[in-house]
Amino acid sequence: MSVISNELGMQLHDRWTRGQVLTAEEREQLEVWYQQQDAKEAKQLNPVSTAVEISDLQAQVEMALTELATVIQRVRQISAENEGLRQEISTLRQQLTALKSA
C-alpha cells in the first residue's frame, strides 16, 4: 500500500463528495487515503497509547520532583554553610578591629 499525500487525498475527497467521477486509480488512492486517516485517528484515540504516555509523563514528573528535592536540600546546606561563614567573618572583623584599636 503506497502513501497518499494529504493534499492529494483532500483533493480526491473534495471531488468525490461533490459528485465528480473518479477514475478507478483515483478511487483506489482515495480509499488508501481514507485508511491512512483512519489509522491516524485510531492512533490518537488509542487509550493504551495515551495511558502509556501519561504513565511516562508521571514518571518524568516524579523524577523531576526527586531532583528538585535534592537541589533544595543542597541549597539549604549551602545557605547554612554561608551563614556559618558570615558569622566567622563577623567574628574575625571584630577581632581585627580590636587588634587595630589596641
**Prediction pTM value:** 0.46
Q: What percent of the chain has pLDDT over 70?
A: 95
533544595: which residue's cell?
72
Distance of alpha carbon 59 from alpha carbon 8, whole angstroms: 41
Distance of alpha carbon 94 from alpha carbon 102, whole angstroms: 12
Q: Which helix (H) or strand (E) holds 88?
A: helix 47-101
pLDDT value, residue 50: 67
Across the chain, mean pLDDT equals 91
Distance of alpha carbon 64 from alpha carbon 47, whole angstroms: 25
Listed by start position, the domains of the chain span: 1-45, 50-102
Express each pLDDT in 38-83 by its tens digit.
Answer: 988 888 887 776 677 788 889 999 999 999 999 999 999 999 999 9
Which of 34, 39, 38 minimizes the C-alpha distance to 4?
34
